[in-house]
Structure 1
Amino acid sequence: MGARVTRMFRNFNLENRVHREISREKPVAAPRHATSLPLSAGSSEAVEAVSVNQKHDPLLSLLQSVYVESKDPAAAEASQEVTVGTEGERRPLRFSLPGGSYGLLELKDVPKGKLTITETLKAMNSHQQQPQTWTPGKIAQEYSLDLKDTKALLEFFIPFQVHIIPPKTKNAKQIKAS
């Protein structure tokens, strides 16, 4: 009900108010700043404008003789390490999954310094079962890895950990280890 009342007051005498607004004089826009005025020949501004737009041959020749070469020593060393390690240096694949690797492209060789998941699991399993034989140094030599990376792999890479939590009650179902 309140909307009807407000609509009535809003639309009351609408045509007369519109005609009054249209017939009112429109405000005049402010004049634009005069920028296109010609500069007088003797003014200092004209001399400066001409000197800025002129070519100075001696300065141009000096500028053309300047050659700047910028290098970041840290980035240059890092890029050299990356390119040296991956340019054409590949080693044959040692282990692969039987029967195709889940629809993925079958690999024939791997860049030096890299491992596939299958090779990683095989190397870690060998190290866990025979730590005296499969030392980090031997694994690094066998798979063309860096010794620091191999030690980090053996210390921090934990592929699978299964924890079987015993049930609190005796009649609860439990998964049997097979």
Structure 2
Amino acid sequence: FTNMGARVARLFRNINLENRVHREISKEKPRSAPRHVINVPPVAGMEAADSINQKNDPLLTRLQSVYVESTDTAEVSAGKEVERRPLKFILPGNIYGPTEHKEVPKGKLTIGEALKALSSHQRQPQTWTPEKIAQDYSLDLRETKALVEFFIPFQVHIIPPKTEQAKQIQSS
């Protein structure tokens, strides 16, 4: 009976639907409320517009006396040849980017060389001192010391579990 009741309700709902729609459309629409009138004194607005568009002679003369001379550092460095050094270490595969380079500018490191130098220093700090790394890779000593001090790769901290029943990774 529920299906039958829905059909009857739909029949009564759709009776004379077109006439009801036309009646609703032909009704007079309500007018929108009038906007609030804002009283702005025209003098204040006009003064600001006039001062913007007006030529200021003292500022114009000062601007004409300014002379800017610019030099582009890229043009200066493009003129002289940058010293290059052969790569010390190349990562296997193409994991960290293209490895087509066979040499790099002095004072620069590739990602593979940086990881190799820092991990060597981390494993053997007496052998791989910042001075030795700077000399091997043609780097600035001050920058190498900062790199070794502040960039520590692959440091693993194993936090002990709070309970004895928790699973823990066994170190071999």
Deviation, 1:134, is: 2.5
Aligned to 1:128: 122
State the aligned residue count: 112
TM-score (norm 2): 0.51
Are 1:109 and 2:128 matched, yes or no?
no
Bigger RCO (CA 8 Å, 6+ sep): 2
Tell me if structure 1 keeps the 8 A contact 2:118–2:153.
no
CA deviation map 1:2-28 (0-9, x unaligned) = xx88973439xxxxxxxxxxxxxxxxx
Q: Identity over the aligned pairs, expressed in percent?
A: 61
TM-score of the aligned structures, taking structure 1 as reference length? 0.50
Q: 1:7 & 1:148 partners in 2: Cα distance?
A: 85
Instruction: Using the TM superposition, give the Cα deviation of residue 161 of structure 1 relative to its aligned residue in structure 2, in angstroms.
Output: 2.1
**Residue 166 of structure 2 corresponds to residue 172 of structure 1:** yes
- For 1:1-178, list aligned pairs within 5 A: 8-10=27-29, 70-71=69-70, 79=73, 83=77, 87-98=81-92, 100-102=93-95, 104-106=97-99, 107-178=101-172
Question: How has the CA–CA distance of structure 1 residues 125 and 160 changed in structure 2, closer, same or farther, with 3 Å as cutoff?
Answer: closer
Amino acid at match of 1:70: E
* Cα-Cα RMSD: 3.4
State the match for 1:42 in structure 2.
Answer: none
Gaps of 5+ in 2: 1-22, 31-66
Question: Where in structure 1 are there 5+ consecutive unaligned residues?
Answer: 12-67
Provide closer, same or farther for how the CA distance between residues 122 and 7 of structure 1 changes in structure 2, counting only shifts above 3 A: same
Conserved 8 A contact 2:88-2:113: yes
